[in-house]
Copies of this chain bind each other. A is one copy, B any other.
Amino acid sequence: MSVRVGILGATGAVGQRLVELLAPHPSFEIASVTASESSAGATYRDAAKWRTGSPIPDAVANVEVVPTEPSAVPDDVSLLFSALPSDVGARVEPAFCEAGYVVSSNASNERMADDVPLVIPELNADHLALLDVQRAERGWDGALVKNPNCSTITFVPTLAPLSEYGLERVHVATLQAVSGAGYDGVSSMEIVDNALPHIGGEAEKLETESRKLLGSFDGSAIDHHDVTVSASVNRIPTLDGHLENVWVETDDDVTPEAAAEAMAAYPGIDLHTAPDPFIEVLSEPDRPQPRLDRNRGDGMAVSVGGLESSATGGLQYNCLAHNTIRGAAGASVLNGELLVDRGYV
């Protein structure tokens, strides 16, 4: 039985990735696509100006785009994927939840709210039960679950396998692709033959979301992890795939070999969109590279390479994930699958 789903903000870069992932999905059926008021009434084909390298799925091309409001979405849709900008998300996501919809959202609003689970299924699926607290507190029939920022998703999975050694401090430098800013987020004149050592609000997301993701849920609240993370973020002229340089200091010593083994052995999760393996540890010193490794696991795997001991103590290595798949649309879809699996939809 297919679950009828909707996509909020379906015409942008992440929205189009959601369409790509959901159209062929065996358990979801796209029943509604929403966009801003100005696109409402148009077919999805006309509204989206489809800009990925694959053809626009037939099942969606001629669907009429509706405005992003609960009354416009059919009642038999039970699960919504949100690719809204955070300011729009902040305004309308609660209304959808209030109206009974379960929302798996990529938007950054409320990611750090106490009663909103921030989930990477392979890492902290148990945090999803925070939804019971959320429903009780907010009086919602629906529910709101978030996936983290694309740059957070890239490196936090590599920390989880090291947590048994006692995570103390992390330095992370990101080399982020332009698609992370959306279709019109970075102009060509800004980035051709250039790099931008700043993305507004991004460093803070890496520093705070990581602690929530690695935290523990005691049945009523998330106890954030006390690891200290310092991030330096950069935009570079790549299309997809965030590459990150990581240094990790732990309480107990960990050799590069032990770390590689722990990462490679870190279990995935048995859901349709989840990759297997979850983390791919590469032995070539010059990998992972955005163009060569971003599509591992159909864009859902996290790649690691260059593992070695750092002169400053601890480990250093590089990691990479596809920012609009594992880091955005795929993350939301996987959370949607988890919501179904755990009975919230």
Q: Which residues of A contact B (CB under 8 A)?
A: 13, 51-55, 169-171, 173, 175, 178-179, 183-198, 207, 228-230, 232, 234, 236-239, 243, 245, 247, 285-292, 294-296, 305-306, 310-312, 316, 318
Task: Give every chain B residue within 8 A of A178 (Cβ-Cβ).
Answer: 188-189, 192
CB distance from A33 to the nearest CB of B (A): 20
Task: Give every chain B residue within 8 A of A53 (Cβ-Cβ).
Answer: 291-292, 294-295
Q: 17 extra interchain contacts, Cβ-Cβ under 8 A, other than A195-B243, A234-B245?
A: A13-B189, A53-B291, A173-B173, A175-B236, A178-B188, A186-B187, A188-B188, A188-B190, A193-B193, A193-B237, A195-B238, A197-B288, A229-B312, A230-B247, A230-B312, A232-B316, A234-B243
Task: Give every chain B residue within 8 A of A188 (Cβ-Cβ).
Answer: 178, 186-188, 190-192, 237
Question: With A197-B306, A292-B53, A305-B197 in contact, is A236–B239 under 8 Å at CB?
Answer: no
CB distance from A77 to the nearest CB of B (A): 30
CB distance from A71 to the nearest CB of B (A): 33
Closest to A320 in B: B197
Closest to A240 in B: B193
Contact B238 A194 (CB under 8 A): yes
- A188 vs B310: C-alpha distance when bound (angstroms): 31
Question: With A192-B188, A312-B169 in contact, is A295–B54 under 8 Å at CB?
Answer: yes
Question: With A189-B51, A238-B195, A295-B54 in contact, is A232–B207 under 8 Å at CB?
Answer: no
Question: With A188-B188, A237-B236 in contact, is A195–B289 under 8 Å at CB?
Answer: yes
Task: Give every chain B residue within 8 A of A192 (Cβ-Cβ).
Answer: 178, 188, 191-193, 237-239
Contact A175 B234 (CB under 8 A): yes
CB distance from A246 to the nearest CB of B (A): 8
Contact B238 A193 (CB under 8 A): yes
Contact A291 B237 (CB under 8 A): no
Between A and B, 29 residue pairs with Cβ closer than 8 Å are A53-B294, A53-B295, A55-B296, A175-B236, A178-B189, A179-B189, A184-B184, A185-B187, A186-B187, A186-B189, A187-B188, A188-B237, A189-B239, A192-B237, A192-B239, A193-B193, A193-B239, A194-B238, A194-B289, A194-B292, A195-B238, A196-B289, A197-B243, A197-B287, A197-B289, A198-B286, A229-B312, A230-B316, A237-B237
CB distance from A153 to the nearest CB of B (A): 18
Closest to A309 in B: B230
Contact A195 B236 (CB under 8 A): yes
- A238 vs B192: C-alpha distance when bound (angstroms): 7
Closest to A246 in B: B232
